[in-house]
Amino acid sequence: MTDKELSRMMEQSAEEGRRALFDEYCGYVYAICANKLKGCGSPEDTDECLSDTFAAVFRYLESHNAADGDLKGLIGTIAKRTAVSYFRRLSAKNDTTVSLESETVGELSSDIRVDESAELSALRETVLDCIKNLGEPDSSIIVYFYYYGLKTKQIAALVGLSDIAVQKRLSRSRKKLRELLSAAGITEEGSQ
């Protein structure tokens, strides 16, 4: 559906136009929000960011003419700004700063093991490299399913495939990923 068709639909019926706009750009906005919030937000935070983005888009479109420019660009900009705002808020909650006056500056907490942390980081990097080697849309399907905990129907909407196609691709991708991880020296128990 083109931007002009969406604008026309919104002029005829605001509710139907909003629904069509949401359906058209939901996957795009979700990908932006999920990308900006990875590592600091939960799937619920991503969903909330998605909702707030569309609320901001709808507020903007009420006071501006949607046909004036690129709707995808506008939605992308609002999504990025909303996600960055969420990221800052979530990061502030998780901030662990140390006072310069603290006597423990420069000391590591006794429960932090640098060698284990480095090994875990290397393991994660290897796993992500193997996932990237699956190619699109398989790598996205794996990430959405395992990292973001989405259901196959939700993934199907994001990647533009049927639910059954996503299930088949997920099954094949798991097998191929096992082979790639095994070739990289990672066994199912998680040891290298």
Question: What DSSP line would sit under 68-96, residue for residue?
Answer: GS-HHHHHHHHHHHHHHHHHHHHHHHT--
In the chain, % of residues over pLDDT 90: 11
Cβ 150 vs Cβ 33: under 8 Å: no
Total Cβ atoms within 10 A of residue 68: 10
What's the confidence (pLDDT) of residue 102? 44
Taking the CB of residue 143, how many other CB atoms lie within 10 A of it? 18
pLDDT at 173 over 50: yes
pLDDT surpassing 60 at residue 146? yes
Position 68 scores a pLDDT of 58
At residue 105, the pLDDT reads 46
Task: List pLDDT tens digits, range 58-117.
Answer: 888 888 765 556 788 888 899 999 999 888 888 776 554 444 444 444 444 455 556 666
Q: How far apart are the first and last CA of the chain?
A: 49
Res. 1: pLDDT tops 50: yes
Question: What is 3-35 written as a DSSP string?
Answer: HHHHHHHHHH-HHHHHHHHHHHHHHHHHHHHHH
CA–CA separation, 20 and 37 (whole Å): 26
**pLDDT for residue 123:** 77
pLDDT at 104: 46
| In contact, 49 and 86? CB cutoff 8 Å | yes
The half-sphere exposure of 76 on its side-chain side, counting CA atoms within 13 A, is 6
Provide φ and ψ at 142, rounded to 5°.
Answer: -60, -45
Mean pLDDT of the chain, nearest integer: 79
- In this prediction, residues 16-41 reach a mean pLDDT of 87
What's the whole-model pTM score?
Answer: 0.49
With 0-12 / 13-18 / 19 or more C-beta atoms within 10 angstroms meaning exposed / middle / buried, residue 13 is exposed
Q: Phi and psi at residue 131, in whole multiples of 5°? A: -65, -45
- Considering Cα of 4, then 5, then 7, then 8, what sign does the dihedral take? positive
